[in-house]
Chain A
Amino acid sequence: MRGLFLASACVCIFAVGVICYFLFANGLPFFAKYSAWDFITGTEWAPLRGIYGILPMIVGSFLVTFGALLLGAPIGVLTAILMARFASSRVVRVMKPAVALLAGIPSVVYGFFGLKLLVPFTRNMLGGNGLSMFVASILLAIMILPTIIQTSEAAINAVPNSYYEGSLAMGATHESSVFRAIVPAAKSGIVSGIVLGIGRAIGETTAILMVAGNQARMPTGILAGVRTLTVNVLLEMGYAADVHRESLIATGVVLFIIVMAINFIFSFINRRRVVQ
């Protein structure tokens, strides 16, 4: 039995190996036909004419993620502080499952909600056709909230109570003890929660596809459409063939490397926190 248990634990290793192998084996041949530099820095995506530049998508992915962070990170961290230090246990008992529910709502439902409510709202209030980076960022901000809240709350709760008591003993108020003693001590945990949120945002596909307009050109403004790396794959994989198909798998490789880098940063921050 021990061998069987060991084997099932090793499936994880096997799966990661297979994913890497197939992704790279199918994506890298593309670079034999098309220069990697032109692929990553090219600003034009025109598969029909054999031009494959994914810079607009790379920029798009980062801009949408940045917008999501701008909105989601403060709200998430402040909500976590509220839940950890200000709200009564009765309020927390309501908020915890609510945040878990927010994490559980499928991305296609988020996308649908965005498409039906946020897109027309934006079109009517701010102009443009509504399918925009703006809506995509708002939607992503909502979607990464639970990740940021849960990680930050755990980090804040892990700060030893003596920090708080020490601060109180120095004559500080409850509020300033929280903001000046506890939150700074939980900083690296909060940052790692935000990094995890970035990873989630960069990888999100369905919801963005439904609201972002998906034009494959350099983003022109916050109310204009945008296409991310993930959307590029999902949108065109259905009908792509030959070099075009390989270029999409290569897009996946670029995305994979970006996500792995973010995960590495996350575990690096976490490890340093444990050492501390």
Chain B
Amino acid sequence: MSETGATTPAVDITVPTRPSMHLGSRFLKALCWAAGFVTIGVLLLIIAYILVNGLPEFFSRDEQGTLHFKASLFALKYNSRNLSMLPAILNTLTMTALSLLISVPLGVGGGIYLAEYAKPGSKLVKIIRVTAETLAGIPSIIYALFGMLVFVVTLKMGISMLSGALTLGTMTLPLILRQTEESLLSVPMSYREGSYGLGAGKLRTTVRIVLPVAMPGILAAVLLSIGRISGETAALIFTSGTGTGIAGINDSGRTLAVHLFKLQEEGRAVGASFAVAVVLLIIVVLMNALSSFIAKRLTKKG
């Protein structure tokens, strides 16, 4: 910018060179960089803190000083001495699978309706959009009350994995619905026209031609949902509860996140808590990485 200043005729000294403004802007720019460093710094601090404190918890030293993997952390049965997280890991998998079994078909189906079948701008579509937005904005503690009142009490499912999964399925539904709709809408019209031109019907076109192209976007949403389900605590404590065993559909069972919360609440086993936090963090990082990898492939294609 200084070169342009140099070539400006001497007549207008007032407009381009107001040093105070430049200084102010420079200062703001520096602030922007500072804010960016804080954002990244905080993330690195959290990850480093959890890893540095948590990773050693997976190992123990014997009398000779050799490191051993602490297999007791992954014993089949939890007790207050081994503090095994294996049941919680398995419960997290069950909870994730059950929740997705509910939210994925509904979300993808709903997304297909919104993108392919609905008349854009119709009243029903508007209502569906508003309610999906509402669902996405409801805090997890309200979902906890909803799950407890509806599934646990009214439908008599009791505190069980099923109650928890139905609650989390409702919670992740808007995410999958919206992402499916957006991914479908970004598929070029010509794909559909080509398919129609070859004589395929609406359903065939949607399922065989459009949906496969939109798949990476939907998959990214599913992975994000997995991250949310495995990280959820508040909505699960009163719906799937805090049972310590490997839970079947009708049993109470704690997921990893609930496990961490309970260990913390009971105020003991700091080491085991850190180890659980490490596993949770790894799950989330993995899901995020996969999701953005898939999303990147999607944008490259587009």
A contact set with B: CB distance below 8 Å: 1-2, 4-13, 15-16, 18-19, 22-23, 26, 74-79, 81-83, 86-87, 91, 94-102, 104-113, 115-117, 142, 145, 149, 170-176, 178-180, 199, 202-206, 210, 230, 233-234, 237-238, 249, 252, 255-256, 259-260, 262-263, 266-267
Contacts and interface: CB of A to CB of B under 8 A. Distances in A.
B134 interface: yes
A19 B230 CA distance: 23
Contacts of A87: 36
A175 B24 CA distance: 9
Nearest to B129: A12
Contact of A82 (B32, B135, B280, B288): B32
Contact of A175 (B29, B34, B127, B150): B29
A207 to B, nearest CB: 9
B69 interface: no
B163 interface: no
B36 A83 contact: yes
Contact of A256 (B15, B128, B142, B273): B142
A28 to B, nearest CB: 13
Interface stretch (B72-80, B111-119, B243-251): B111-119
Contacts of A112: 50, 260, 264, 273, 277
Contact of A109 (B112, B114, B150, B231): B231
Given A9-B110, A12-B110, A95-B36, A233 B144 contact: yes
B286 to A, nearest CB: 10
Contacts of B277: 109, 112-113
A86 B33 contact: yes
Contacts of A230: 139, 141, 234
Contacts of B233: 106-108, 205-206
B138 A22 contact: no
Given A12-B135, A113-B49, A237-B238, A171 B4 contact: yes
A12 B131 contact: yes
B238 to A, nearest CB: 6
Contact of A5 (B25, B50, B112, B274): B112
Contacts of B212: none
Contact of B146 (A5, A23, A75): A23
B109 A8 contact: yes
Contacts of B134: 16, 260, 263
Contacts of A96: 292
Contact of B38 (A75, A173, A259, A260): A75
Interface string B159-201: 0000000000010011001000000000000000000000000
A6 B112 CA distance: 9
A22 B238 CA distance: 16
A178 B29 CA distance: 9
Nearest to B287: A104
Contact of B28 (A104, A106, A171, A179): A179
A26 B148 CA distance: 11
Size band of the B side of the interface?
35 or more
Contacts of A176: 21-22, 24-25
Contacts of A75: 35, 38-39
B97 interface: no
18 contacts: A5-B116, A12-B131, A16-B135, A19-B142, A22-B154, A78-B32, A78-B36, A101-B288, A105-B46, A105-B284, A111-B264, A113-B49, A116-B49, A145-B42, A172-B16, A176-B21, A178-B29, A205-B234
Interface string B90-121: 00000000000000011111111110111000
A255 B280 contact: no
Contacts of A113: 46, 49-50, 277
B284 A106 contact: yes
B137 interface: yes
Contacts of B237: 234, 238
B288 to A, nearest CB: 5
Among B46, B117, B130, B173: residue with most chain A CB under 10 A: B46
B15 A171 contact: yes
A22 B285 CA distance: 36
B67 interface: no
A204 B36 contact: no
B234 A234 contact: yes
A259 B112 contact: no
A199 B117 CA distance: 32
Nearest to A23: B145
A113 B260 CA distance: 12
Contact of A22 (B34, B131, B150): B150
Contacts of B145: 22-23, 26, 233, 237, 249, 252
Among A7, A8, A26, A260: residue with most chain B CB under 10 A: A8
Given A4-B109, A15-B173, A102-B39, A205 B139 contact: yes
A266 B177 CA distance: 20
Contact of B39 (A26, A98, A111): A98
A240 to B, nearest CB: 11
B46 A12 contact: no
B187 to A, nearest CB: 16
Given A1-B203, A249-B145, A179 B138 contact: no
